[in-house]
Structure formats: C-alpha cells, structure tokens
Amino acid sequence: MKKYTEIQDIPNIQDAIKEAILLKMDPFEYKELGKNKTLVMLFFNASLRTRLSTEKAAKNLGMDVMSLNVNEAWQLEFDDGTIMDANTSEHVKEAAQVISQYADVIAVRAFPSLKDKAKDQSEYILKSFEKYATVPIINMESATAHPLQALADAITITELTEKKVPKVVLSWAPHPKALPQAVANSFATMMQEMDVEFVITHPEGYELDPEITKNVPIVYDQKEAMRNADFVYVKNWSNFKEYGQVLNTNPSWMMTQEKLGNAKFMHCLPVRRNVVVEDAVLDSEQSVVIKQANNRTFAAQVVLKNILESL
Ligand code: CP
C-alpha cells in the first residue's frame, strides 16, 4: 500500500481485515518493521481515539512518533499565487517538504469548514499534503472521509457477526452542532465492499452524497429500516444539500433500547448521551463502541504495516 487516504487504497479489504485480526492476536509480531522509521501526525482538529490509537499502532510496529497540533504552529497557506500579507505565514509547499524530511509516513487530520462545499469537497488540505510531501500520507479524517474509522468498523462487524450476511443499518441521529459527513461517507463506502445487507435511514432531505451511497436503499422510516437489523450504526451528519446546515434536531431520531431490539449498537465516538443515543443503550451489552475504539489500533496497524512494507 503506497498511501491510505481513501478506502479504495486497500487492495483487498477482506485480506486487510483478516490481517488486522491476526495483528490483534500478536500486536508486537512486527516490532522490528518500523525500527528507525518515524510517523509524523498532523492535527488541524481535536482527537482522542485517532491520535492515541494511531500512535499505539505505530509503536507496536517499532516506529517513533511525533505529533503536531498544526494550529499551534505557523498558519499555513494552501492557495497558489497568494500574496501572503495577511494571516498565513508558511505555504504548504514548504511545510510538506520540510515535514517529509523528518518523517517516513505523514498522517493528517483536517475537518471540513462545513461552509464552503466546493472547497471542502476538493479535499485541498489532504491533497496538498499528497502533492507536496515526499512520503506516504494517511488520512486520519478529512473533509469527506474517515477511512481508518471505517476499517475499524469493518473489523468489528467481522469479529462480532453471528450471520454470514448480517443486516447493517446506518441511522442518522440528532445533534445540536453541525457535524461532517465523513464518518457516514466512509462507513457507507465500506459497507458496499462487505458481504452485508446494508440500509441507510435518515430524515428526508438528509441524503448523503449520491456518488457515495450509489444504490444503497434509503428508508426514511427509521423503525422500518431497522427491522431485523443485526448492527445499527448511529451517526449524526449535517445537511449535505443545504451544506453544513442543522435543519433537523427531532429527538425522535435518537437511538433507544426499544428501537434497537436485539441489534448491536455502533458509534465512532465521541457521542452525546441522551441526544444521539440514550444511556440504556450505551450502558448495555449490545453496545460495541468500546470494541470499535479498540479496533482503531489494529486498523491503523494494518495500514502502517502495509505502507512500511512498501517503502
Ligand atoms: N472516532 C474518532 O475519530 O475519534 P476522535 O475524533 O477522538 O479521534
């Protein structure tokens, strides 16, 4: 693997899941692979799980790790030809090349503005690092995608399913703040690669990018969508058409134990209790959110292992 900025970078997802499960059984088997190699992690936005699990994965492989909260460094310019006489102090052209001299792999987290759809969809931050860095790039959640999370979710479903073809539902949830579509996008993309029956449910008007959801059934009746579900992945996203708007906060979309039935509850975390999901669900045996978070390490580790092997 030469990079991991999107799910499509994985040559064979089933093989990657199997390899991640093997790494989980013996996390230090490849501890020599990353010796004298450095992962630099760049954070334009906050993180708990991605930061710690990716660092842990790198260390399991014997890598050194350096992290930078980019907003505490020089403010970067991304546009070409700008007269940089305002707030930006350094162009990504120099920054990416400089960081590449300190790193064997660069991982980037950069959320969307949720204000300028075209700019967000262009993935200009991630793509600038891909363009100007001279080492492989990993996406730790960009404007439109969170492929490390989706790989962890696929590992979790594979480990926990009791059926050959489980029914998996992605259910929108209310949230007071405008959140990106990235997690939902990557989960929808990943589920289309898996041997699952996949359904999306959300209020009318909350359609994700149709280039991502393609022919996945969208059922506006949440109860109907969740009938006989084995896994229910709950996630808020802000409106994609009325870009970045919070047009619906209807609490009836919150996940409850009654609605969940016998399904397993999934969420990428962090999650707002009793807004997105009620306490009774999160505190029940049916919640697999802690297992998902654990699998973030092995998703990152299988990606790093494959990138290190390609250097
Ligand atoms: N799920 C996830 O990406 O968590 P963090 O935002 O804490 O990294």
Q: What is the pLDDT of residue 173?
A: 98
* pLDDT tens-digit series, residues 272-302: 999 999 999 999 999 999 999 999 999 999 9
Q: Please give the single-letter amino acid code of residue 295.
A: N
Whether this prediction's pTM lies above 0.85 is answered by yes
pLDDT grade for 196, boundaries at 50, 70 and 90:
very high
- Whether CATH 3.30.70.20 fits 148-292: no
Render pLDDT for 5-45 as a digit per residue (tens, 0 to 9). Answer: 999 999 999 999 999 999 999 999 999 999 999 999 999 99
> Ligand 1: which of 47, 51, 153 to mutate, judged by most atoms within 8 Å of the beta carbon?
47
Find the 141 Cα to ligand 1 centroid distance in Å: 8
Torsion of the alpha carbons at 10, 12, 17 and 19, rounded to the nearest 10: -100
User: Which atom of ligand 1 is least distant from the CA of 48?
Assistant: 7
| Residue intervals in the chain for CATH 3.40.50.1370 | 7-145+296-310, 148-292
Question: Angle 49-60/289-310 helices, nearest 10 degrees?
Answer: 50
Of the pLDDT bands very low, low, confident and very high (cuts 50, 70, 90), residue 105 is very high
pLDDT value at residue 114: 98
Band (193; pLDDT cuts 50, 70, 90): very high
Please write the tens of the pLDDT for every residue from 237-274. Answer: 999 999 999 999 999 999 999 999 999 999 999 999 99
CA 182 to chain centroid, in Å, comes to: 7
Closest atom of ligand 1 relative to the 146 alpha carbon: 3
285 CA distance to ligand 1 centroid (A)?
A: 22
Residue 255: predicted pLDDT: 98
pLDDT (0 to 100) of residue 274: 98
Nearest CA to ligand 1 atom 6: 47
Query: Helix, strand or coil for residue 12?
Result: coil
State mean pLDDT over 79-98.
Answer: 98
What whole-number percentage of the chain has pLDDT above 70?
Answer: 100
What residues does ligand 1 touch, defined as CB less than 6 Å away?
Answer: 47-50, 141, 149, 268-270
Rounded Cα–Cα distance for residues 192 and 199 (Å) = 10
- Tell me how far the alpha carbon of residue 196 lies from the centroid of ligand 1, in angstroms: 25
Tokens standing for 115? 């204000």
Q: What is the pLDDT of residue 166?
A: 98
Q: Residue 98 is encoded by which pair of tokens?
A: 């400089």
Does CATH place domain 7-145+296-310 in 3.40.50.720? no
Give 140 Cα–ligand 1 centroid separation in angstroms: 9
Please tell me the predicted confidence (pLDDT) of residue 309.
98
| Alpha carbons 263 and 259: distance in angstroms, whole number | 9
So what's the pLDDT on residue 278? 98
Rounded distance from Cα 267 to ligand 1 centre (Å): 10
| CB crowding 33-45: b at 16 or more within 10 Å, else e | bbeebbbbbbbbe
At 67, is the pLDDT very low, low, confident or very high (cuts 50, 70, 90)? Answer: very high
Specify whether the CB–CB gap between 48 and 75 falls below 8 A.
no
Q: What confidence category does residue 192 fall into, taking pLDDT thresholds of 50, 70 and 90?
A: very high
